């Protein structure tokens, strides 16, 4: 990937010594980086990056030291407190520090915790949002997270808490009844329990579900299944994290909006997947 693409004319902020910028790297595809992210990568002395940050993205910062600080469920990793204090130490050493996190740092990314620690230690910060996998990753799979004929709300939830268990604070009955579309981050480990609770709360076992792994990358896989068969289908397909799980009728729109499949020469499977029997309205 070329790293010499000039930024458009603009007054770009300067990453000063002793500062930490917390930056979203997007869902995977390097092309989904924001221009502010590219600007930050070009200035950093140190880039501390997560497990979901693609290697190509780091090539935008050849001058910087690259420090891996990934956290993956069920695998040995640095403690969150240690990562936050490492940022403090680097900033106090006069480094221009870029904390690079997959997706958006403030969407199930622990960005708020790290930013709070930095501020508590009098370290100046800047936040650079990124495209979250729960939106951009589904778009790459041809699934709109909102669609007028399907939903007027969407709920984003995490599949595990700080201890790695299904969050005990989540009211699955309220989630089930309160939103037509549910998007689950980090839900693969506990999907059997999650599916069971949603069905018990009233969601149909036949409700469409999509599982999108390594979203927006060349290794992206999309499994279309149902709430009642998702556990068996994930096992049969041998899918592994990282994954975004989308539950709801908007999943059916992939039948007409699988733009990557169409780009590869495959026609849409169904021009009217919701069975409306009419063209989409323009207004």
Which positions are catalytic?
Answer: 50, 71, 186
Give the pLDDT of residue 88: 98
- Contact status, residue 227 vs residue 204, Cβ threshold 8 Å: yes
Bridge partner residues of 97 (DSSP): 20, 46
d(CA 28, CA 47): 17
Residue 189 resides in a domain? yes
Residues 259 and 152 in one domain: yes
Looking at residue 256, its pLDDT comes to 98
What pLDDT, on a 0 to 100 scale, did the predictor assign at position 147? 97
Residue 73 falls inside a structural domain: yes
CATH code assigned at 59: 3.40.1010.10
Distance CA 186, CA 278 (A): 37
Phi, psi values for residue 85, rounded to 5°: -70, -30
pLDDT > 70 fraction of the chain, expressed in percent and rounded: 94
| Cα 15 versus chain centre, distance | 25
Q: What is the pLDDT of residues 250-271, one digit of tens each?
A: 999 999 999 999 999 999 999 9
The answer to whether residues 252 and 155 touch, using CB atoms and an 8 Å cutoff, is: no
Tell me: the pLDDT tens digits for 118-143?
999 999 999 999 999 999 999 999 99
Q: Of 110, 131, 152, which marks where a domain is finished?
A: 131
pLDDT value, residue 278: 64
Residues 159 and 238 in one domain: yes
**pLDDT over threshold 60, residue 157:** yes
Per-residue pLDDT band for 281 (boundaries 50, 70, 90) equals: low
Domain that holds residue 102: 20-131
Are 97 and 50 part of one and the same domain? yes
Residue 185 lies in a domain: yes
Q: Is 218 exposed, middle or buried (0-12, 13-18, 19+ CB in 10 A)?
A: exposed
pLDDT at position 1 over 80: no
- Predicted pLDDT of residue 145: 98
Q: Is the pLDDT of residue 283 over 80?
A: no
């Amino acid at each position: 990937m070329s790293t010499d693409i000039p930024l458009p004319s603009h007054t770009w902020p300067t990453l000063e010594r002793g500062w930490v910028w917390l930056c979203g790297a997007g869902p995977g595809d390097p092309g989904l980086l924001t221009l502010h992210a590219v600007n930050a990568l070009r200035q950093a002395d140190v880039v501390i990056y997560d497990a979901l940050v693609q290697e190509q993205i780091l090539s935008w910062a050849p001058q910087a030291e690259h420090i891996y600080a990934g956290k993956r469920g069920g695998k040995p990793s640095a403690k969150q407190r240690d990562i936050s204090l490492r940022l403090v130490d680097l900033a106090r050493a006069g480094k221009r520090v870029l904390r690079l996190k997959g997706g958006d740092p403030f969407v199930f990314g622990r960005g708020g915790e790290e930013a709070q620690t930095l501020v508590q230690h009098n370290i100046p910060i800047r936040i650079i949002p990124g495209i979250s996998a729960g939106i951009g990753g589904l778009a790459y799979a041809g699934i709109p997270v909102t669609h007028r004929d399907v939903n007027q709300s969407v709920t984003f939830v995490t599949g595990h808490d700080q201890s790695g268990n299904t969050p005990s604070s989540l009211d699955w009955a309220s989630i089930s009844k309160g939103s037509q579309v549910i998007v689950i981050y980090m839900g693969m480990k506990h999907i059997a329990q999650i599916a069971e609770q949603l069905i018990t709360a009233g969601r149909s076992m036949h409700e469409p579900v999509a599982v999108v792994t390594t979203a927006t990358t060349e290794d992206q896989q999309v499994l279309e299944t149902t709430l009642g068969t998702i556990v068996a289908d994930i096992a049969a397909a041998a899918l592994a994290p990282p994954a975004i799980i989308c539950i709801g009728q908007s999943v059916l729109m992939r039948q007409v909006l699988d733009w990557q499949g169409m780009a590869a020469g495959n026609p849409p499977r169904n021009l009217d997947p919701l069975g409306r029997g009419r063209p989409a309205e323009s207004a």
